[in-house]
Amino acid sequence: MSSSLKELMNAPMRPGRLDWIGLRPAKRAALVPVSEATIEVGAGLVGDHYTGPVDGKRMLSLIQAEHLAAVAGILGLPAVTPGMTRRNLVVSGLNLLALKGRRFSIGTALLEYTGPCAPCSRMDENLGPGGFQAMRGHGGIIARVLRPGAIRVGDAVVVLEVEPETAGRNASFAFDA
């Protein structure tokens, strides 16, 4: 029995795992790894210098751990560390681009995918020549905070189910408030 593309796009996903949290204490400062953090609506990670508008699309940036290895391979580097990419959160076991149009939780926080996280000019500076090009398609995603909460390294990244009657339209999502 075959499934329609719409059904496949809205199918349940296996949870991922939060592997790393990084705070940028000041513009251009090195990221500081922490084992836990608080996420606030309109501010993103507490202790991170970047705060966007309350209704902003970029409160957090996430990258897949699997893509760090891919970027390292493209550049011929032994490794690319999370801090080199300037992303706040590193997750594994979950295709972040499959979160398009979905909400997800990490710890007690509720987040919403708002778009891909394009590389910036800092990638050549941080990763060496070709860093910007290597990060294209591997830059991760940005997310909006819908409900504040605490997150810890090791937390599950749980994708919330799309309600069947609204899938593919103005999707609403089922979650415990």
135 in a domain, yes or no? Answer: yes
**Model-level pTM?**
0.85
Identify whether the C-beta of residue 62 lies closer than 8 Å to the C-beta of residue 111: no
164 in a domain, yes or no? Answer: no
73 in a domain, yes or no? Answer: yes
Can you tell me which residue has the tokens 């990670």? 45
4 in a domain, yes or no? Answer: no
157 in a domain, yes or no? Answer: no
30 in a domain, yes or no? Answer: yes
State the CATH number of the domain containing residue 140: 2.40.33.20
Question: For residue range 140-149, what is the model confidence (pLDDT) as tens digits?
Answer: 999 999 999 9
CA–CA distance, 20 with 140 (Å, rounded to integer): 14
Number of domains in the chain: 1
| Mean pLDDT computed over 157-165 | 74
Q: Of 159, 172, 163, which is closest to residue 13 (Cα–Cα)?
A: 159
Taking 70 as the threshold, does the pLDDT of residue 135 lie above it? yes
Domain interval for residue 92: 12-151
Average pLDDT, the chain: 86
CA–CA distance, 115 with 58 (Å, rounded to integer): 8
Q: Which residues contact 74 (CB under 8 A, 6 or more apart)?
A: 130, 134
Alpha carbons within 13 A on the beta-carbon side of 98: 20
Question: For residue range 78-134, what is the model confidence (pLDDT) as tens digits?
Answer: 999 999 999 999 999 999 999 998 999 999 999 999 999 989 888 999 999 999 999
Q: What element of type H or E holds 60?
A: strand 60-64
3 in a domain, yes or no? Answer: no
